[in-house]
Amino acid sequence: MRQLDLSQAVMIIAYELSKCGQETLDEQGKTKKKKFDNSSLPEHLQTREDLAYLYKRISHVLELLEYFPRGERDISQKIIFNLKRFLGRSGLTESELKMLLGLCTRIEKKLGKK
């Protein structure tokens, strides 16, 4: 009697799950392969350079809004660090990045500063 170790069992389950839903029955009862549908996959996620630019813009807007207490460099760094963690964890898509950059631009225009 042959035994499977855990990694082999996981590999078999993963293979079967990957095959699941790839075949359907047509009107005559014959099996046919389904095409892969990627509509549920997220948009392209942004690069580190894109995110670095976003963090710079958000930091600038927060300074314009005088959100950071004057002279409190540590607090401003903590706020930006927390924003980086929060936004980095969410994995921004291109449209989300554009939305946030647009928000920064609108705030800068309203304040009359750039």
Distance CA 14, CA 82 (A): 36
For residue 102, the model assigns a pLDDT of 93
Domains and CATH numbers, the chain: 48-111 (1.10.8)
- The pTM score is 0.56
Note down pLDDT in tens along the chain; length 114 residues: 566 677 777 887 777 766 666 666 667 767 666 665 555 545 566 788 888 899 999 988 988 888 877 777 778 788 889 988 888 887 788 888 899 999 999 999 988 865
For residue 99, the model assigns a pLDDT of 92
